[in-house]
A and B are shown apart, each in its own frame.
Chain A
Amino acid sequence: MLDNDAREAVGDYKAGWHDPENSTIRFDAGLSEKVVRDISELKNEPEWMTEMRVKAFKHFDERPMPTWGNMSMLKQIDFDSICYYLRSSKATENDWEDVPEDIRNTFDKLGIPDAEQKWLSGVTAQYESEAVYHSIREDLEKQGVIFLDMDSGLREHEELVKEWFGSVVPYSDNKFSALNTAVWSGGSFIYVPKGVHVELPVQAYFRINAKNMGQFERTLIIADEGSSIHYVEGCTAPTYSTDSLHSAVVELIALPGAHIRYSTVQNWSANVYNLVTKRGIAHEKAKIEWVDGNIGSKLTMKYPSVILKGEGSHAEVISVAYSGSGQHQDAGAKIHHLASNTTSKILSKSISKNGGRGSYRGLVTVSPKADNCKLNVVCDALILDENSRSDTYPTMEVANPTARCEHEASVSKVSDNQLFYLMSRGHSEEEALALIVNGFFEPFTRELPMEYAVELNKLMALEMEGSIG
């Protein structure tokens, strides 16, 4: 049951309720080598993983904060006040009935079990540091598809994990990938065997429930030759007056001819720092797509990347960002064309409102050896009022003259005439604005599974409420 006294929800954030913490194990706040070793010991990990964690911790400790993005917000993160490990349930269950009732209620409210029955191949649900529920359809398991939480993945498929973990995003990549590698817990481990097509999406849902919590899931997806998979993730947290930190690392490996699509709709509450490193490697003729929606959080810094390593591989990053009051979405994409005949497409759409700030930060490179590459970058921003802000920082480094590059950027405002037109068709000002905003996001929403698209449209309509002054 929801504990009303414990409710500290502020504003009208929809997923802002929280459950009483029912933690089996909660580490004291703060980070040290001991905390890192304790996490590893608690999980009974092999020695190599413990060592990697410790190295990563040292790197994190020495590495300065990034000097871009939003430095003044980054400076406010108090690493000492964060709890780095919190386990609320003893085990990862594969039957919702066995998940502790209060946690199950949370996911019920978020509609996860319902969605699972209707349109998913598998589900993993993470609550704080650990996955509390996990299941995959039997037929996929029979075809050899591995879909586990990362901790079980390490236990049951150590060789695979050892081979690929950190191969796409090494801990030394950036300060937050180092932090994640040091204290990671949960996340998904997926292996799709050669030629297997997972038709329905698999879904992961991440919920931070406690105050001052740090969630550091780690996801690794390997799609073997000619296989395909669509992974969908959603995230929410309660609204607290103090900050939480979500810092994930996601690594994708698309072997020759494989296709991975990774869709995210993050709707963190406005007190969550969302600092995530997402990167994939596409081998010959493989295809990686990031479909990335950033609606919530206080500060998001996230630039899904693809390394086009194999000839004829293809990358797509489609992202939307919504920044409301007090929010900064610093999002974008990075694509590296290392091989010939590789193609990439970036579409970034951002909306800022009520003083929110949206930034597009993109980097596309073409190496000298990569002939006949095609790249296309489109960034559109929609600003809803005078106090809001939108910036673009597009960078292209093209070292091969045969590359064909296209770049378009636009900043627009909602015009009175557009609103008037829609209002003359019976729509209130808020409804009219929601129609315009959802239309602006449409190139993104049409890439999402239907159920997500409908949710996202509703979410944006809610965000537009009370926005007319």
Chain B
Amino acid sequence: MSNDSQLLKIQDLYACIDDTSILKGINLEIKPGEIHAIMGRNGSGKTTTANIIMGHPDYEVESGTVELNGENLLEMETWERAREGVFLSFQYPQSVPGLQVGNFLRKSVAAILGEEAAKGKEFRNKLKESMKELDIPSSFLGRYVNDGFSGGEKKRFEILQLMLMKPKLAILDETDSGLDIDGIRTVAKGINAAIRGTESGALIITHYSRILEHVKPDKIHVLISGKIVKTGGPELALELEERGYDWLEEGSED
């Protein structure tokens, strides 16, 4: 089997932080055009998985591989991964006081897609359009990155970046938490438009079935204590919402 048919391929990933082991053998494959979801209780390792794909310096990968289109991501710096097309919508976006949103977006698009992509009318139009779609007022361009943004505004701003940066792999870490109902619908629409029928893929981390009703993921994975214990179709989301996670715990009778 060729790696090339996989957009993202994670094999036997073990990772720890400060000697505490957190990921205990993750296996995950996403094909181009697919949207997958990860669910799992608090502290099970969802954000850790996302952070490791993006290259957060605090985590140590003990063994295993992470590949994007057959390229070894683990050998790349975070910004190289970003330039390769990995995008992470953060669970907790960081604020950067003094850095204006407009300036930040222009610089980031230039860093990832090249100077040309961040110049001229085309970029400005795309920016205006996307902000309108996400209901972000144009006054935000003059505000500082995530500084004083409400929870929902931060999430919308993450998706704005996603739309402008056109990633190959979009990871959304609880982007739906904190969004209002319209926000969830808008974000789902954005994800479908960015992924379906393209060579890109997405990994949605969530606690709720609502967003998944809109995006209809190809697969849902359940993460418990650093391991994927179950994989199923979209119907799994509702089942989890009803039954919780206990029945999936190790040693459970079910």
Contact = CB atoms under 8 A, between A and B. Distances in A.
Given A420-B51, A426-B83, 19 more contacts: A417-B92, A418-B94, A418-B95, A418-B96, A420-B56, A421-B90, A423-B55, A423-B79, A423-B82, A424-B87, A424-B88, A425-B82, A425-B108, A427-B108, A428-B77, A429-B79, A431-B79, A435-B96, A439-B145
Nearest to B94: A421
B252 to A, nearest CB: 35
B111 A425 contact: yes
Interface in B102-148: 104, 107-108, 111-112, 144-145
Name, among B78, B81, B100, B144, the residue most crowded by chain A CB atoms within 10 Å (CB to CB): B78
B97 A439 contact: yes
Interface of B: 51, 54-58, 77-79, 81-83, 87-88, 90, 92-100, 104, 107-108, 111-112, 144-145, 161, 165
Given A416-B58, A420-B78, A435-B104, A426 B99 contact: no
Given A435-B104, A436-B99, A440-B98, A426 B112 contact: yes
B168 to A, nearest CB: 13
Q: Most chain-B CB neighbours within 10 Å: which of A420, A425, A441, A443? A: A425
A188 interface: no
Interface in A414-469: 415-418, 420-429, 431, 435-436, 438-443
A373 B176 CA distance: 49
Contacts, number: 81
Contacts of A440: 97-98
A422 B99 CA distance: 11
Nearest to B108: A425
Nearest to A443: B98
Question: Main SS of chain B's interface residues?
Answer: mixed
B98 A438 contact: yes
B174 to A, nearest CB: 15
B96 A436 contact: yes
A34 B95 CA distance: 60
A234 B189 CA distance: 53
* Complex A-B, nearest 10 residue pairs according to Cβ-Cβ distance, in ascending order: A439-B98, A426-B111, A442-B98, A439-B99, A426-B112, A421-B94, A425-B108, A423-B78, A426-B82, A418-B94
Interface of A is mostly: helix
A442 B98 CA distance: 5
A442 B82 contact: no
Contacts of B92: 417
A417 B94 contact: yes
Contacts of A428: 77, 79
Contacts of A443: 98
B79 A427 contact: yes
B116 to A, nearest CB: 15
A452 B223 CA distance: 53
Contacts of A418: 94-96
A47 to B, nearest CB: 53
A422 B78 CA distance: 9
Contacts of B98: 438-443
Nearest to B111: A426
Interface residues of A, number: 23
Nearest to B58: A416
Contacts of A420: 51, 54, 56-57, 78, 94
19 contacts: A416-B58, A418-B96, A420-B78, A420-B94, A422-B96, A423-B79, A424-B87, A425-B108, A425-B165, A426-B82, A426-B108, A427-B111, A435-B96, A435-B104, A439-B97, A439-B98, A439-B145, A440-B97, A442-B100
Nearest to B113: A426
A425 B161 contact: yes
Contacts of B111: 425-427, 431
Contacts of B104: 425, 435
B75 to A, nearest CB: 16
B107 to A, nearest CB: 7
A418 B144 CA distance: 14
A424 B87 CA distance: 7
A426 B78 CA distance: 8
Nearest to A437: B98
Contacts of A438: 98-99
B99 A442 contact: yes
A418 B93 CA distance: 9
Contacts of B79: 423-424, 426-429, 431
Contacts of B87: 424
Contacts of A417: 92, 94
Contacts of A429: 77, 79
Q: Which of A418, A420, A441 has the most CB of B within 10 A?
A: A420
A429 B77 CA distance: 9
Contacts of A435: 96, 99, 104, 107
B31 to A, nearest CB: 23
A421 B99 contact: no
Indicate the member of B54, B58, B94, B95 with the most A CB atoms within 10 Å. Answer: B94
Given A417-B94, A435-B104, A435-B107, A424 B99 contact: no
Contacts of B51: 420
Contact of A439 (B54, B57, B96): B96
A438 B96 CA distance: 10
Nearest to A441: B98
A421 B87 CA distance: 11
Name the residue in A416, A422, A438 with the highest tally of chain B Cβ atoms < 10 Å from its Cβ.
A422
Contacts of B78: 420, 423-424
A443 B147 CA distance: 14
B99 A427 contact: no
A431 B56 CA distance: 17
Nearest to B90: A421
A176 to B, nearest CB: 33
A429 B87 CA distance: 17
Contacts of B97: 439-440, 442
B32 to A, nearest CB: 22
